[in-house]
Amino acid sequence: MSIPLRRFAAKPWPEQEPTWRDARPALIEAALKRAVARPSGNWFVLAASREVTADRPFGRTVAGVEVVAWRSGSSVLAGPGSCPHLGAPLCDGAVHRGELVCRWHGLALGGRKFGGWSPYPAHDDGVLVWVRLDEVGGEEPLDAPVLPERPPAGSLDAVATVVGRCEPEDVVANRLDPWHGAWFHPYSFANLAVLETPTEQDDRFLVEVTFKLVGRIGVPVVAAFTCPEPRTVVMHVVAGEGAGSVVETHATPLAPGPDGSARTAVVEATIAYSDRPGFGKALPVAPVIRPLMRWAAARLWRDDLAYAERRYALRRVGRFPG
């Protein structure tokens, strides 16, 4: 059985081949415009599936709308986060026998309309929970969110969430610039080459890159980046170790900050898969592995949020190039 790790050679960081000529602003902008024009059906990623439980409600403000979600049996329910009685925050309530119970006066809410309170459509895809907000999205509603192709059963998933001062399009634009990888994240990527750029006929980036592990040891792969809907960028590993694995980057608008600036939650789902026999042995220790996967994703987004926030700050004052 071959070992997936490879020793690689790479130039020192400042001696890498510059990528700014290839990272053409017009090309990135055209890919971004095509992405944001795709239908979402008014679906927004709310949280990781594991965050929405039958023990307590989960609350998050999505595009300025308070949302609360909980589990009732095998179903995920969601609705406005403000109690219709006297406005209490339902995220501070309790779940009892599948109903959401307000802590202020004990009003119990479920999957049916109560006065001015109406549940929102919710969808659990097994990794993420989505909520449909028709008044916010303003599109033709879809019965379910637009989901990318995922690995088969037996995969390992982890979800990391970070929040930045930017809009969803700034997050998407970051992912539609693969050229920055080896320059901005030299601790994670080496020998990055963009093999194909998007066109209207084949709207994807194809990238060859080595994921660095320790020193000059890494895992070379070929990955495709696509946008199935306006707030999602998906990286599919199409060749190399872990072929079939995906990283889904979802950008969910939140409530504006105190200064009126936009805020966005980056909810990144890493779904790892391998057909190697040893991979199955890792699944029983998934609770130990998931924090490491979340840490790796958060580390990258620590830097990439600075990139997205900078883009937003420049756009906000009309100084973004082009």
Q: What confidence tens digit (pLDDT) does each residue in 182-202 have?
A: 999 999 999 999 999 999 999
Does 215 or 318 have the greater pLDDT score?
318
29-60 pLDDT, tens per residue?
A: 999 999 999 999 999 999 999 999 999 999 99
What is the pLDDT, as a whole number, of residue 3? Answer: 56
How many Cβ atoms from other residues are within 10 Å of residue 201's Cβ?
A: 5
Out of 80-84, 206-210, 259-263, 276-280, least confident range: 276-280
pLDDT at 282 over 80: no
Dist. CA 317–CA 322, nearest whole Å: 13
Q: Which among 116, 137, 158 is the end of a domain?
A: 137
Q: Domain of 311: which CATH number?
A: 3.30.530.20
Query: What token pair was written down for 234?
Result: 């998906």
Q: Which residues pair with 120 in a beta bridge?
A: 78
Q: Which of 105, 137, 169 is the last residue of a domain?
A: 137
Whether 142 maps to a domain, the answer reads no
Distance CA 40, CA 18 (A): 36
In a domain, 235, yes or no: yes
Angle at 196 between CA 171 and CA 249, to 5 degrees: 25
For residues 114 and 144, what is the distance between their CA atoms, to the nearest angstrom?
A: 24
Instruction: Determine the Cα angle at 93 with ends 90 and 95, to 5°.
Output: 115
> Is 55 part of a structural domain of the chain?
yes
Cβ neighbours of 321 (radius 10 Å): 6
Structure confidence at residue 322 (pLDDT): 75
Tokens 């929102």, residue located: 120
Residue at 63 is within a domain: yes
Pair (189, 281) in one structural domain: yes
* Average pLDDT for 303-316: 96
pLDDT tens for 223-265 read 999 999 999 999 999 999 899 999 999 999 999 999 999 999 9
If 0-12 CB within 10 Å is exposed, 13-18 middle and 19+ buried, where does residue 88 land? middle
HEC profile of the chain = CCCCCEECCCCCHHHCCCCCCCCCHHHHHHHHHHHHCCCCCCEEEEEEHHHCCCCCCEEEEECCEEEEEEEECCEEEEEECECCCCCCEHHHCEEECCEEECCCCCCEECCCCECCECCECEEECCCEEEEECHHHHCCCCCCCCCCCCCCCCCCEEEEEEEEECCCHHHHHHHHCCHHHHHHHCCCCEEEEEEEECCCCCCCCEEEEEEEEEECCEEEEEEEEEEEEECCEEEEEEEEECCCCCEEEEEEEECCCCCCCCCCEEEEEEEEECCCCHHHHHHHHHHHHHHHHHHHHHHHHHHHHHHHHHHHHHHHHCCCCCC
Which domain-ending residue is among 79, 107, 137?
137
Based on the fold, state whether residues 102 and 209 are members of the same structural domain: no
CA 276 to chain centre: 27
Q: Does 205 share its domain with 80?
A: no
| Domain range enclosing 58 | 43-137
Decide if 287 is inside a domain.
yes
Considering the entire predicted model, what is its pTM? 0.95
User: In what order do the strands lie in the sheet containing 65-72?
Assistant: 58-62, 65-72, 75-80
Report the pLDDT value the prediction gives residue 234, as an integer from 0 to 100: 98
7: pLDDT strictly greater than 80: yes
Residue 1 has pLDDT above 70, yes or no: no
Question: Which CATH number covers residue 110?
Answer: 2.102.10.10
Q: Are residues 76 and 198 in the same domain?
A: no
Q: Do residues 302 and 215 both lie within one domain?
A: yes
Average pLDDT over residues 80-98: 98
Let me know if residue 48 belongs to a domain: yes
